[in-house]
Amino acid sequence: MAPALRRALAVLLFGALCGLALWLRDLYPGVSGVQRDFLRLAPFVLGGVALAMALWFHRGRVALALGVLLAAYGAFSSLSVYGPAATVLSSGAALLVPINLALLGLLPERGLWTARGLIRLGLLGGQAGLLAWAVAHPQGALGELLQGPWTAPGSLPGTELAPASLGAYALGGVVLLGLWLYRGSPLDGGLLGALTATLPPLHTGGDGATTVVFWGLACLLLGVSLVQESYRLAFVDELTGLPGRRALEEQLQRMGPGVVVAMLDVDHFKKFNDRYGHQVGDQVLRKVAGHLSRMEGGGRAFRYGGEEFTVLFPGKSLEEAAEIMDRVRQRIAASGFRVRTPARSGGKQGPDHRGQGGGREVKVTVSVGLAGRGADRAGDVLQAADQLLYRAKRKGRNRVCR
């Protein structure tokens, strides 16, 4: 699925879940007291399940984000009496939630039970401790600060959000939106969705129904993004962004032996790697993958492994697929590849030729084996295409053999 379409679907899903949340919020006043007590637990249950999943999948950032959400929900749902302590608690939580969610979006994944993960956990625990101290001493310096006109709710017309919290939400929203658009990771989308979902209860001043429903939605969104991320890790190749081998095998099972299959291999890739370094080799793979993902004629490209790619052509004849693949081959050979200078490519060069080739235009070519129809099993078509690929190599490379 194209990234733009995936993002559009995610926005639609988010809109539908917000609509559902509003509908549930309107039902809330009609439920009995016992049912309400039960519903108040829903965000803890949803967040707890998502937290267990995050720990199971070693997603430290999501685990910490869920910890932030659950602690903040605990704080907001415990606010029953108004007074200085309640103001300090809600002002502090309304500032810390957007700041921490944005920071967790920016930080690289390091797990939770690692030195860095534990440092992050410690810093969040420290924030919670500081806020608890300010709540216990609302007349202290921090308590007074959190009750000031910039931080306390109710100082802006039309909203219960304080100016500082509004600013933190705007900044956090821009950061997470930028990350989501740039990286396209479901976890960035989940953090952005969670941040957005926590806005309505803060804006309305946290009536019971809005608090329960939207904090529950925030936890749910992080849980869904975890499932999506796990799917992506299993099926999408990290380096090239193309679907990986597991996705190819599933597609082949579904399509059966009638499908035309192309196996493509970058020529002399080892020499290229040895000469310019592994990082430049990776750039070459990304470039070839870029050509394959923009391919006309309905060809679906996969990274088979290493420097090999597979393209499936459902519904195409061998002749049609051969024409398409030959055009792709020519485009790759004609486009050339500019080896970036060591500074731009990160400076990690091949062991024997450090720094060679900076800014130089080099030629990248590919060989292709193409087979289809006539085999008994889809796996046989793949094998036949692989043999034809080696024929293309033997015949001198930079060609399509079928």
Ligand X SMILES: Nc1nc2c(ncn2[C@@H]2O[C@H](COP(=O)(O)OP(=O)(O)OP(=O)(O)O)[C@@H](O)[C@H]2O)c(=O)[nH]1
Positions in the binding site for ligand X (CB under 6 A): 239, 265-271, 273, 278, 281-282, 285, 306-307, 393, 397
Tell me if 293 sits within 8 A of 241, measured CB to CB.
yes
Question: What span, in angstroms and rounded, lies between the C-alpha atoms of 53 and 273?
Answer: 39
- The minimum distance between CB 278 and ligand X, in angstroms, equals 4
Starting at the edge strand found earlier in the chain, the sheet holding 400-401 runs: 300-305, 308-313, 260-266, 366-372, 400-401
Catalytic site residue 307?
yes
Contact at 8 Å (CB) between 217 and 50?
A: no
Cβ closer to ligand X: 282 or 326? 282
333 touches 283 (CB < 8 A): no
When the beta carbons of 327 and 397 are compared against ligand X, the nearer one is: 397
Q: Which is nearer to ligand X, 225 or 273 (CB)?
A: 273
Query: In Å, how far are 291, 322, 377 from 315, measured between CA atoms?
Result: 21, 13, 17
Taking the complex as a whole, the smallest distance from the CB of residue 362 to ligand X amounts, in Å, to 14
Nearer Cβ to ligand X, position 363 or 377?
363
**Best CA proximity match to 13, nearest among 242, 196, 155, 234:** 196
CB of 245 to ligand X, least distance (A): 13
| CB nearer ligand X, residue 40 or residue 397 | 397
Least distance in angstroms from the C-beta of 119 to ligand X: 31
> Of 160, 229, 307, 308, which is the active-site residue?
307
d(CA 35, CA 31): 6
> Nearest residue to ligand X, using CB?
281
CB 154 within 8 A of CB 206: no
Give the residue among 3, 103, 62 at the shortest CA–CA distance from 230.
62
**Least separation, in Å, of the C-beta of 335 and ligand X?**
18
Active site residues: 307
